[in-house]
Amino acid sequence: MAATLTPQMAFRAFRAAPKAAPWARLSAQLPRAQPAFRRFFAAPAQEQPRLRLGSTAPNFKALTTKGEIDFHQFIGDSWAILFSHPADFTPVCTTELGAFAKMKNEFEKRGVKMIGLSANDIGSHGEWIKDINEVSSTDVQFPIIADADRKVAFLYDMIDQQDLDNISEKGIAFTIRSVFIIDPSKKIRLTMMYPASTGRNSAEVLRVIDSLQTGDKKGVTTPIDWQVGDDVIVPPSVSTPDAKKKFGEVREVKPYLRYTKF
């Protein structure tokens, strides 16, 4: 009858065996074995960085309707809005780009550069811009990134999860409506994600920029539905005596809720 090798017998045999040479010496003696060893112990693919508020906006190079750009160089010392669209020649996107184009002067007053993205090629963008200008009676001047391969969309996580789950069936994930407000230091200050069926509120994007720039300049925060000219909030980190020295009149509703004039 053949002997049966039990786990206990195998362990005792292993303990009784001569000690193996150190890995470094063994690797030097068997160089051909190294690639296989590395494959077995290869590090897993690095997870995509989280695009948290305050994190640096990922840089990229891309072809746009205004030529090739380096995104960080494009921003320069300005603020920037990066907003994405699912596709050219789609109804909601057409109304959105027309609305943003009409607000060009307002964004320029605030030192903000606009740049769009749509998951089509440059040739398609050019024809689509003609439609946008006609429908909205405007003149699109800001660049639109050609992202047919979704490279930038994946970099900024502008991808619909349902399409990502079914990518084997659809072939490529769907780019959703996203907004990123980025400051001159290239930090992400705000993100907004919209479903493809819902158009954005361009006035809200402008309002947020006013709030961020006011907060940076004056050291204050802004309440619900705040508009330029409304009272602002003294942050909790500033005492009431210090706030009066800095801002003048302070209206205290609660010890933690204090308003002052903008």
What is the set of active-site residues? 93
How big is the CA angle at 202 (ends 163 and 100), to the nearest 5 degrees?
90
Per the CB < 8 A criterion, the answer to whether 79 and 113 are in contact is yes
As a whole number of angstroms, the distance between CA 15 and CA 25 comes to 21
**DSSP-assigned letter for residue 49:** P
Coil vs helix vs strand at 92 = helix
Which residues sit opposite 1 in a β-bridge? none
Q: Which of 75, 106, 83 is nearest to 184 (CA)?
A: 75
First to last CA, the chain: 95
Cα(228)–Cα(255) distance, integer angstroms = 24
- Sequence-ordered list of residues with C-beta below 8 angstroms from that of 228, at least 6 positions apart, any chain: 210, 214, 262
Residue 94: name the closest of 137, 139, 135 by CA: 135
Q: Are 101 and 139 in contact (CB under 8 A)?
A: yes
